[in-house]
Homo-oligomer: A and B are copies of this chain.
Amino acid sequence: MSTPEIRPFTDADWPGVWEIISEVVRAQETFPYDPGLSSSQARAMWVEQPPGLTVVASSGSSVLGTAKMGPNRGGPGAHVATASFMVGAASRGQGVGTVLSRFAVDWARRSGYAAVQFNAVVETNIAAVRLYQRLGFQIIGTVPRSFEHPSLGRVGLHVMHLEF
């Protein structure tokens, strides 16, 4: 596969982004989001306002994946960024997550954040954990049994961190 293009989300992307989000949240394997999330709730949650940013990874008119990024907390915590990534089922294992996560880290660095924090990485999502570790993220700690996986039972959520 050629490298997907990363570009800011536009209204026309919503149907493709929502298809990915709805599949990911219904699977309940990687995100601690309500699987009954409506399209409008998902849109309010996923589409960031400045200073945050939402992007899509696209190939032609297809949305292969999406990412959102912005400050992790407010006020005295706003110098640390966070980000989330979702890749469509048909596009996994092709480097789309790598391209999106590299983009988010570069965005945070060039926007002047001091670090990037992921608050809840499912420990059994090995592809994501290894990808973040390759980018330099460290596991700060793991909250045990805090994610109810549909087949594996209660597994841990990692807090991961990369400081610039």
A108–chain B nearest beta-carbon distance, Å? 13
State which of A1-9, A11-19, A71-79 sits at the interface with chain B: A71-79
Instruction: Determine the distance from Cα of A148 to Cα of B154 in the docked complex, in whole angstroms.
Output: 34
Q: How many residues of A contact B (CB 8 A)?
A: 39
On whether A163 and B140 interact (CB within 8 A), knowing A25-B75, A73-B120, A75-B34, the answer reads: no
A79 in contact with B148 (CB, 8 Å)? yes
A148 in contact with B32 (CB, 8 Å)? no
Instruction: Chain B residues near A114: list those with CB within 8 A.
Output: 145, 154
A8–chain B nearest beta-carbon distance, Å? 24
**Copies per complex of this chain:** 2
Most buried by B among A33, A75, A145, A163: A75
Q: Is A109 at the interface (CB under 8 A from chain B)?
A: no
Q: Is A85 at the interface (CB under 8 A from chain B)?
A: no
Q: Is A35 at the interface (CB under 8 A from chain B)?
A: yes
B25 in contact with A77 (CB, 8 Å)? no
Chain A 120-164: CB-based contact to B (< 8 A → 1; otherwise 0): 100000000000000000011111111111100010010101010
Binding site for B on A (CB under 8 A): 25, 28, 31-35, 37, 72-80, 114-115, 117, 119-120, 139-150, 154, 157, 159, 161, 163
13 A-B pairs within 8 Å (CB atoms) are namely A32-B75, A32-B76, A32-B77, A34-B74, A72-B146, A73-B120, A76-B147, A77-B147, A77-B157, A79-B146, A80-B143, A114-B154, A140-B142
